[in-house]
Structure 1
Amino acid sequence: MRLVWTVMFALASSVAFAASPEDDYIAARDKAIADIAAMESTNAPVETLDAANEKARADLEKRLSALLGPFTVKDFPAAGKINIESLSSSDVGFGMLDGLRHGTEDGPSIVASTRGLVERWLRSRAAETDADLKLPTNFDAALKLDAFYTQAIGSDAAFTGTLDFALKKPDGADMAIARLGGWAQDIGPNSDQEVVVTVVKGSSVLIAEAPATPPVPKIAACDAAWTAADAAAQKLAKQATDDSDENTSDAANAAWTKGDNDFRACMGKSLPDTPAYPALLAQAQALADHMAAN
């Protein structure tokens, strides 16, 4: 009897501690990152590093495809490319969200992941010592932050939100968040606005981005506010250069930042009253409904 219970306990323990597909993927990803870091420490040729990076990304892409299962959102490619652009910490695109991107960076695309992978990724971001990279571990809170989208699905530009859409949660979805905003390397008016929609359904997390249709209109009052702020900041920047005054330089940067914040706040307040807004809201709702239906 003791032998039977010993065998049963051993079997139960092996099941309890068996690595999940997500565990296997994370282990393979971390090993690839460590291997490439070791190669970099020995000054391996760039060509060797690039080859190792692409080989590892291809392996991780296959693992993600098996982990995530079939992608069936209509009008988007069934086959996805790994969202992480590099496994080298010295490259742009390192540390992006684990998932597969279906579509292109210039057109509509959806990054597919799982709640488990997103939560693991958030825990890694919460441990960041750089304040600009730090994110909360709370899943719901993180999805409402510009920094989440900058780090999760962007690479060489920052996402800044213009407004949040009031969506009706699609049937079958646990959560749906839609935002209007854009990616840019500089602050100030950004005409390349996109509709970004996140749908959580069970363990599935889908993050879509698509060019805003129609294009976001210019609003004269908001443009005027930015123009005034920009002029004041430039005057301070010139004075800082002439006087080699670091404090004045900081004041100039603060003026630009405030002007950018004021501009986006103005746009967020004013856009719902424009003729374009109902179409933008409809685009966000249709995208959320479409993602949730698959």
Structure 2
Amino acid sequence: MRLVWMLVFALAGGTALAASPEDDYIAARDKAISEIAALESSNAQVETLDAANTKALADLEKRLSAILGPLSVKDFPATGTINLESLSASDIGFGMLDGLRYARSDEGPSIVATTRGLAGRWLQSRAEEEDESLKLPAGLDEALKLDAFYTQAIGADAAFVKTLDFSLKTPEGADIAVARLGGWTQDVGPIYDQQVVVAVVKGDRVLIAEAPASPPVPKIAACEAVWTAADAAAQKFQETYQGSDLKDQQAYDSANAAWEKGDGDYRACMGERLPGDPAFPAVLAEAQQLADHMAGK
């Protein structure tokens, strides 16, 4: 009898310690990252590195597909491709959110889907970052309110910059619904290609949608004037200070300060005035519809 009970406990212990599909995915991802880093250290040829990266991403995509299952959101495909763009720390697109991206075209709307567990692990790794510019809060609800989350999670070579937050009605059954209007940029100044970004958390799923604002966000004359004045001031600093190295540095610092202030003032102006523009209700409705569809409505 004692032997039987020992066997039962042993089997129970083995079950408790069994790795979950998410554990297996993380282990496979980290192993692939290490292997590619080793290839880079050994000065492997680019073709070898590319082949290893492509093969590993394909394996990880299959694992994520098994974890997430088919997507069921109106107007989006059921199957997706891996959100990660590279497993090499030296490449753009390394370290993005673990999940699948669903889209019918490169230019149209897309959704990145993941689980609470994978999102939580990803955020924890960002919370422990030594580089302060990459740090994010470990809590999902707090992170979803930050531009830096979208920059690191679903962006590759540009930063997401918010124009304004939408006031959404949280769809029935959803735990969290966050929406904002903004754009992707590598510089300061107006971003005319505005995107509606909506994040919905429902049960174990985390869905992040991005779609071009429809109708396109109009230019607002008062806000354009704010940026034009700031840009002129920055260029004047550059023209005024030329000569010694010290003055060149002063010119650089003063011009950048003027551009950065102008960028902030411009976005504040858009955030204040855009809700009164005739185009705004349609853009808000677009955000609400994305949230509703992701929640299953």
**Both proteins in one fold, TM over 0.5:** yes
CA drift of 1:182 comes to 0.5
Q: Distance in 1 between matches of 2:140 and 2:30?
A: 22
Residue 40 of structure 2 aligns with which residue?
40
Q: Which residue of 1 aligns with 2:282?
A: 279
What is the distance in 2 between the residues matched to 1:66 and 1:164? 34
Task: Flag the 1:239–1:36 CA change in 2: closer, same or farther, 3 A.
Answer: farther
1:253 to 228, 252, 256: 256
The one-letter code sitting in structure 1 at the alignment partner of 2:133 is D
Taking structure 1 as reference, are residues 129 and 239 closer, same or farther at Cα in structure 2, changes over 3 Å only? Answer: farther
Partner of 2:195 in structure 1? 194
Following superposition, the deviation at residue 70 of structure 1 comes to 1.6
Aligned to 2:13: 13
Equivalent in the alignment of 1:25: 25
Distance in 2 between the 1:19 and 1:274 partners? 53
The one-letter code matched in structure 2 to 1:287 is L
The answer to whether the aligner puts 1:205 opposite 2:206 as a matched pair is yes
C-alpha displacement at 1:255, in angstroms?
1.9
Query: Could you say if the C-alpha distance between residues 49 and 240 of structure 1 is closer, same or farther in structure 2, counting changes exceeding 3 Å?
Result: farther
Deviations 1:242-289 (A, max 9, x none): 342334422322221111111111101111111011101100001110
1:172 offset after TM fit, Å? 1.2
State the Cα distance separating 1:3 from its structure 2 match.
2.1
Distance in 1 between residues matched to 2:101 and 2:243, nearest whole Å: 48
- Residue 187 of structure 2 aligns to a residue whose secondary structure is coil
Give the AA of the match of 2:112. V
Shift of 1:238: 3.8
Alignment of 1:65-144 (within 5 A): 65-103=65-103, 104-144=105-145
Deviations 1:113-137 (A, max 9, x none): 1111111111111122222211111
Percent identical residues:
71
What is the aligned residue count?
294
Aligned residue number for residue 175 of structure 1? 176
* TM-score of the two chains, using structure 1 as the length reference: 0.97
For residues 277 and 7 of structure 2, the distance between their equivalents in structure 1, rounded to whole angstroms, comes to 70
Q: Secondary structure, in 3 states, of the residue corresponding to 2:243?
A: helix
Q: Distance in 1 between matches of 2:170 and 2:276?
A: 23
What 5-or-longer segments of structure 2 have no aligned partner? none
SS in 2 for 1:177: strand
Gaps of 5+ in 1: none
Are 1:292 and 2:290 counterparts?
Answer: no
64-73 or 36-45: which moved more?
Answer: 64-73
Q: Secondary structure at the match of 1:270?
A: helix
Corresponding residue SS for 1:283: helix
Q: What is the distance in 2 between the residues matched to 1:59 and 1:241?
A: 55
The one-letter code of the counterpart of 2:11 is L
Paired residue type of 1:6: M
Q: Does 1:149 align with 2:150?
A: yes
Q: What letter is aligned with 2:76?
A: F
Alpha-carbon distance between aligned partners in 2 of 1:120 and 1:248, rounded to the nearest angstrom: 43
The amino acid that maps onto 1:136 is: P
> Shift in Å at residue 241 of structure 1?
4.7
SS of the counterpart of 1:242? coil
Cα distance in 2 between the residues matched to 1:113 and 1:121: 11
Distance 1:250 1:47, change over 3 A: same
What TM-score comes out, normalization by structure 2 length?
0.96
Distance (Å, rounded) in 1 between the aligned partners of 2:240 and 2:152: 35
Q: SS where residue 195 of structure 1 aligns? A: strand
Alignment CA distance shift 1:126-1:55 (3 Å): same
Q: For residues 247 and 131 of structure 1, do their structure 2 counterparts lie closer, same or farther at Cα, with a shift above 3 Å needed?
A: farther
Match of 2:87, SS state, is coil
- State the match for 2:266 in structure 1: 263
Separation in structure 1 between the aligned mates of residue 101 and residue 240 of structure 2, nearest angstrom: 46
1:240 and 1:173 map into 2 onto residues whose CA distance is 55
Cα distance between partner residues in 2 of 1:286 and 1:242: 56
SS in 2 for 1:147: helix
